[in-house]
Amino acid sequence: MSIYDIPVTSIKGVEGSMADYKGKVLIIANTASKCGFTPQYSDLQKLYETYHDQGLEILGFPSNQFNEQEPGSHTEVEEFCKMNYGVTFPLFEKTDVRGPQAHPLFQYLISRAPFQGFDQTNASGKMLHAFLQEKYPEQLFGDSVKWNFTKFIVDREGNVTARFEPTDEPMDMEPTIQSLL
């Protein structure tokens, strides 16, 4: 199976496929509107504006699985992203990204980019690890998505080449993106 075989549904309910993005470099992120990492939308949008004409697509998949930080309707999510962060990259319907009901796209991504741990040299890495250890210790096990704003990079051939955790800032991905464009 290829990433391009996986169906997806836009935030407006339009059914499509990952094949719609064949030949592009992709950043695929699970997102949420009420998370401490929500400001990452801003830098994701900057990356989109900078590199979209060179073949970068950013795909946002809102998820309400982490502390119910994406409670709104699809319309509310889309309006929030546009109004607060100027998001113009594609958004998709709210999606489960971990557990037995995880969307096939995230099952695929996780199977090809396992969890490597949080960067314990930065404050946000230490804080997220400590928070999960205290409140949701089961989430620290395995390769699943650990929290909102986990970001996966896919090359033009559909290979998952990198995984960036929520504590990794979007601009930290820029060298990887540049090398794939």
pLDDT tens readout for residues 146-169: 999 999 999 999 999 999 999 999
Instruction: Write down the pTM of the prediction.
Output: 0.96
Buried b vs exposed e over 39-66: b needs ≥16 C-beta within 10 Å? Answer: ebbebbbebbeebeeeebbbbbbbbbbb
Burial class (CB in 10 A: 0-12, 13-18, 19+), 99: exposed
Which residue among 26, 28, 35, 160 is the active-site one?
Answer: 35
Q: How far is CA 177 from the centre of its chain?
A: 15
> What is the rounded CA–CA span in Å between residue 5 and residue 142?
25
In this predicted model, what pLDDT tens digit does every residue of 30-61 receive, in sequence order? 999 999 989 999 999 999 999 999 999 999 99
pLDDT at 64: 97
> What proportions of the chain, in percent to the nearest 5, are helix, strand and coil?
40, 20, 45
What are the strands of the beta sheet with 151-154, ordered from one edge? 56-62, 25-31, 151-154, 160-164
pLDDT at 8: 98
Tell me: pLDDT of 120 over 90: no
Tell me: pLDDT of 111 over 90: yes
Beta-bridged to residue 56, according to DSSP, are 25
pLDDT > 70: percent of the chain:
100
Can you tell me whether residue 15 is helix, strand or coil? strand
Does the annotation count 35 as an active-site position? yes
pLDDT at 179: 98
pLDDT band at 73 (very low <50, low <70, confident <90, very high): very high
pLDDT at 142: 94
Tell me: pLDDT of 122 over 90: no
pLDDT at 166: 96
* Residue-range domain boundaries for the chain: 3-180
Q: How far is CA 125 from the centre of its chain?
A: 17
Tell me: pLDDT of 170 over 90: yes
Q: Where are the alpha helices (DSSP H) in the chain?
A: 40-51, 74-85, 104-112, 123-135, 174-180
First-to-last CA distance in the chain?
Answer: 24
CATH of domain 3-180: 3.40.30.10
Tell me: pLDDT of 144 over 90: yes
